Amino acid sequence: MTATPPNATTTTTTATQESPSAAASRYQQLRSHLAELKLTAAAEALPAVLDQATAEGLSLTVALERLLAVEVEASTARRLAGRLRFACLPTPATLADFDVDSAAGIDRKLIDELGTCRYLESATNILLIGPGVIEGWSAEWLCSPSSGRCCDRCNVWRRLDAAAGQFAP
């Protein structure tokens, strides 16, 4: 037996069409529920999803899945933006922006391989030697996300930085 939550309104569905004013009221109620749950992306996408569901004759399940997919995508983008802020990278940059031609002795394939961050998963050590590392820009380029792939690992960089600070003279 399921209990009805307090202050919940129950509705019954019938074969008759809803009046335009009742449909508008239900739409506003749905938007307020989405706003109360802080699903802002879903609330913004609601009109487009409902119009598409009506035009294509989609089932309620498919329409709901599309609406929630919009919210999941927005949530993922917000989390990535937060990780980028937390990483404290000085400027937005990608590995594609790195000028390999001006850096003598650097292989583009090696830079692309480092951009996959597989060395973090396999616990492989990377040693960067040269004036660029001392000045700090090379480490920033390597840590900068290429489509956000390395941002999940930004804590590793922070821990390495903290550990290096303990041994610095």
Rounded Cα distance, 21 and 19, in Å: 5
Does residue 78 share a domain with residue 37? yes
Does residue 67 share a domain with residue 25? yes
Q: Give the mean pLDDT of 112-121.
A: 85
In whole numbers, what is the pLDDT of the chain averaged over residues? 75
Q: How many distinct structural domains can be found in the chain?
A: 2
pLDDT-derived band at 135 (thresholds 50, 70, 90) equals: very low
Q: Where is pLDDT greater, at 17 or 150?
A: 17
Q: Where is pLDDT greater, at 45 or 94?
A: 45
Q: What is the pLDDT of residue 144?
A: 43
Full residue range of the structural domain in which residue 41 is found: 20-85
**What are φ and ψ of residue 137, in 5° steps?**
-75, -30
Strand, helix or coil for residue 122? coil
Does residue 65 share a domain with residue 125? no
pLDDT surpassing 60 at residue 169: no
Does residue 72 share a domain with residue 51? yes
Does residue 163 share a domain with residue 132? yes
Q: Which amino acid is at 1?
A: M
Determine what percent of the chain is predicted with pLDDT higher than 90.
Answer: 33
In a domain, 38, yes or no: yes
Does residue 27 share a domain with residue 69? yes
Does residue 127 share a domain with residue 72? no
pLDDT-derived band at 62 (thresholds 50, 70, 90) equals: very high
E strand spans, 8-72: none
Q: From 128, 77, 69, 67, select the one nearest 103 (Cα to Cα).
A: 128
